[in-house]
Chain A
Amino acid sequence: MIAELGLAMLWMAAALAVLQLVAGALALRPATAHLAGVVRPVAMLQGLLVACAFAALIWLFLNTDLSVKLVAENSHSAKPFIFKLAGTWGNHEGSMLMWVTIMSMAGGFVALIEKRLREETLIATLAGQAFVSLGFYAFLLLASNPFTRLPEPAPEGAGLNPLLQDIGLAFHPPTLYVGYVGLSIAFSFAVGALVTRDVGPAFARAMRPWVLGAWIFLTLGITAGSYWAYYTLGWGGWWFWDPVENASLMPWLAATALLHSCSVLAARNALRTWTVMLGVIAFSMSMVGTFLVRSGILTSVHAFAVDPTRGSFILALLAIYIGGALLLFALRASTVTEGARFAVVSRESALVFNNVMLCGILGIVLVGTLYPLLTEAMGVKVSVGPPYFNPVSAVFAIPMMLVMAVGPVLRWREDKGGRITWQIAVPAAVMAAALLAVELLFAPINLLPALGLAIAPGLAVASLQPLVGRNLRRTPLATYGMVIGHLGIAVALFGMASEGAFSTERLAAMNPGDSQQVGPFKVTLQDIGPVAGPNWTALEATVAASYAGGAATVLHPQARVFANPPGNRTESALLTRWNGQLYAVLGEEGEDGRWQMRFWWKPFVPMIWYGGALVALGGLLALMGRVARDVKRLVATDKIAWRRERQGR
Chain B
Amino acid sequence: MRGLLLALLALIALSAPLAAQDMLPPAPYAYKQLADPAQERKAQALMETLRCLKCQSQSIADSDAPMAGDMRHQVRTRIAAGEEPEAIRQWLIERYGDYVSYTPQVKPLTWPLFAAPLLFLALAAFLLRGRFRRSKGA
Tell me whether A and B are bound partners.
yes
List 18 contacting pairs A-B, 8 Å CB cutoff, sorted by A. A90-B7, A161-B10, A161-B14, A163-B7, A164-B11, A225-B3, A244-B1, A244-B2, A296-B12, A301-B53, A304-B16, A341-B131, A383-B99, A383-B101, A384-B102, A386-B59, A395-B117, A587-B64
Residues of A within 8 A of B112 (CB): 367, 371
Which residue among A383, A384, A509, A590 has the maximum number of chain B CB atoms within 10 Å of its CB?
Answer: A383
For window 1-39 of B, CB contacts with A under 8 Å fall at 1-14, 16, 18, 25-26, 31-33
Residues of B within 8 A of A375 (CB): 109-110
A139 CB–B CB distance under 8 Å: no
A360 CB–B CB distance under 8 Å: yes
Return the chain B residue nearest A392 by Cβ: B117
Q: A163-B7, A359-B120, A381-B98 are in contact. Are A565 and B14 (CB under 8 A)?
A: yes
Do B135 and A344 have beta carbons less than 8 Å apart? yes
Alpha-carbon gap, A234 to B65, bound state (A): 13
Residues of B within 8 A of A591 (CB): 25
Residues of A within 8 A of B132 (CB): 341-344, 349
Do A356 and B101 have beta carbons less than 8 Å apart? no
Q: Would you give the shortest CB distance from A163 to chain B, in whole angstroms?
A: 4
Contact among B1, B12, B114 with A229 in the assembled complex (CB-CB below 8 Å): B1
Q: Would you give the shortest CB distance from B89 to chain A, in whole angstroms?
A: 10
Residues of A within 8 A of B120 (CB): 359-360, 363-364
Do B98 and A380 have beta carbons less than 8 Å apart? yes
Q: Would you give the shortest CB distance from B24 to chain A, in whole angstroms?
A: 9
Do A360 and B124 have beta carbons less than 8 Å apart? yes
Alpha-carbon gap, A167 to B3, bound state (A): 13
Residues of B within 8 A of A305 (CB): 12-13, 16
Return the chain B residue nearest A227 by Cβ: B1
Q: A342-B133, A363-B116 are in contact. Are A385 and B103 (CB under 8 A)?
A: yes
Alpha-carbon gap, A338 to B131, bound state (A): 9
B128 CB–A CB distance under 8 Å: yes
B113 CB–A CB distance under 8 Å: yes
Return the chain B residue nearest A242 by Cβ: B2
Alpha-carbon gap, A368 to B5, bound state (A): 18
A12 CB–B CB distance under 8 Å: no
Residues of A within 8 A of B73 (CB): none
Contact among B32, B56, B57, B136 with A509 in the assembled complex (CB-CB below 8 Å): B32
Do A371 and B113 have beta carbons less than 8 Å apart? yes
Do A161 and B12 have beta carbons less than 8 Å apart? no
Q: Would you give the shortest CB distance from B77 to chain A, in whole angstroms?
A: 15
Alpha-carbon gap, A396 to B124, bound state (A): 13
Do B57 and A299 have beta carbons less than 8 Å apart? yes
Q: A302-B54, A382-B98 are in contact. Are A359 and B109 (CB under 8 A)?
A: no
A248 CB–B CB distance under 8 Å: yes
B74 CB–A CB distance under 8 Å: no
A552 CB–B CB distance under 8 Å: no
A208 CB–B CB distance under 8 Å: no
B61 CB–A CB distance under 8 Å: yes
B interface vs A, CB < 8 Å? 1-14, 16, 18, 25-26, 31-33, 44, 48-49, 51, 53-59, 61-64, 97-105, 109-110, 112-114, 116-117, 120-121, 124, 128, 131-136
Alpha-carbon gap, A566 to B14, bound state (A): 9
Alpha-carbon gap, A232 to B3, bound state (A): 8
Residues of A within 8 A of B56 (CB): 299-301, 303
Do A304 and B3 have beta carbons less than 8 Å apart? no
Q: A229-B2, A244-B5, A385-B49 are in contact. Are A163 and B31 (CB under 8 A)?
A: no
Q: A161-B10, A386-B48 are in contact. Are A414 and B136 (CB under 8 A)?
A: yes
Do B11 and A91 have beta carbons less than 8 Å apart? yes
Do A507 and B33 have beta carbons less than 8 Å apart? yes
Do B98 and A383 have beta carbons less than 8 Å apart? yes
Q: Would you give the shortest CB distance from A230 to chain B, in whole angstroms?
A: 10
A interface vs B, CB < 8 Å? 90-92, 158, 161, 163-164, 169, 172-173, 222, 225-226, 228-229, 232-237, 240, 242-245, 248, 293-294, 296, 299-307, 338, 341-345, 349, 352, 356, 359-360, 363-364, 367-368, 371, 375, 378, 380-388, 392, 395-396, 414, 505-507, 509, 565-567, 587-588, 590-591, 596, 598
Alpha-carbon gap, A565 to B18, bound state (A): 11
Do B31 and A587 have beta carbons less than 8 Å apart? yes
Return the chain B residue nearest A590 by Cβ: B25
Residues of A within 8 A of B11 (CB): 91-92, 161, 164
Do A293 and B124 have beta carbons less than 8 Å apart? no
Do A237 and B104 have beta carbons less than 8 Å apart? no
Q: Would you give the shortest CB distance from A105 to chain B, in whole angstroms?
A: 23
Residues of B within 8 A of A242 (CB): 1-2, 5, 57
Return the chain A residue nearest B121 by Cβ: A360
Do A566 and B18 have beta carbons less than 8 Å apart? yes
Do A301 and B14 have beta carbons less than 8 Å apart? no
Q: Would you give the shortest CB distance from B6 to chain A, in whole angstroms?
A: 6
Q: A375-B109, A591-B25, A598-B31 are in contact. Are A169 and B7 (CB under 8 A)?
A: yes
Alpha-carbon gap, A91 to B14, bound state (A): 12
Do B133 and A383 have beta carbons less than 8 Å apart? no
Q: Lowest 7 A-B CB distances belong to which pairs?
A: A385-B102, A235-B62, A387-B103, A341-B133, A225-B1, A381-B99, A244-B5
Alpha-carbon gap, A431 to B50, bound state (A): 34
Alpha-carbon gap, A228 to B109, bound state (A): 36
Contact among A380, A565, A566 with B97 in the assembled complex (CB-CB below 8 Å): A380
Return the chain B residue nearest A355 by Cβ: B124
Q: A342-B133, A591-B25 are in contact. Are A385 and B59 (CB under 8 A)?
A: yes
Q: A172-B4, A359-B124 are in contact. Are A387 and B57 (CB under 8 A)?
A: no
Do A378 and B109 have beta carbons less than 8 Å apart? yes
Q: Would you give the shortest CB distance from A349 to chain B, in whole angstroms?
A: 7
Alpha-carbon gap, A352 to B14, bound state (A): 48
Q: Would you give the shortest CB distance from A427 to chain B, in whole angstroms?
A: 24
Return the chain B residue nearest A271 by Cβ: B131
Return the chain A residue nearest B116 by Cβ: A367
Residues of A within 8 A of B53 (CB): 301
Which residue among B11, B16, B112 has the maximum number of chain A CB atoms within 10 Å of its CB?
Answer: B11
Residues of B within 8 A of A225 (CB): 1, 3-4
Alpha-carbon gap, A615 to B13, bound state (A): 37
Do B57 and A169 have beta carbons less than 8 Å apart? no
Do B3 and A240 have beta carbons less than 8 Å apart? no
Contact among B1, B54, B62 with A228 in the assembled complex (CB-CB below 8 Å): B1
Contact among B57, B100, B101, B109 with A380 in the assembled complex (CB-CB below 8 Å): B109
Alpha-carbon gap, A364 to B104, bound state (A): 14
Q: Would you give the shortest CB distance from A358 to chain B, in whole angstroms?
A: 11
Do A388 and B128 have beta carbons less than 8 Å apart? no
Do B48 and A383 have beta carbons less than 8 Å apart? no
Contact among B8, B104, B121 with A388 in the assembled complex (CB-CB below 8 Å): B104
Alpha-carbon gap, A338 to B130, bound state (A): 11
Q: Would you give the shortest CB distance from A410 to chain B, in whole angstroms?
A: 13
Do B3 and A229 have beta carbons less than 8 Å apart? yes
Q: A383-B51, A598-B31 are in contact. Are A388 and B103 (CB under 8 A)?
A: yes
Q: Would you give the shortest CB distance from A473 to chain B, in whole angstroms?
A: 35
Residues of B within 8 A of A388 (CB): 102-104, 113
Q: A352-B131, A383-B101, A414-B135 are in contact. Are A233 and B54 (CB under 8 A)?
A: no
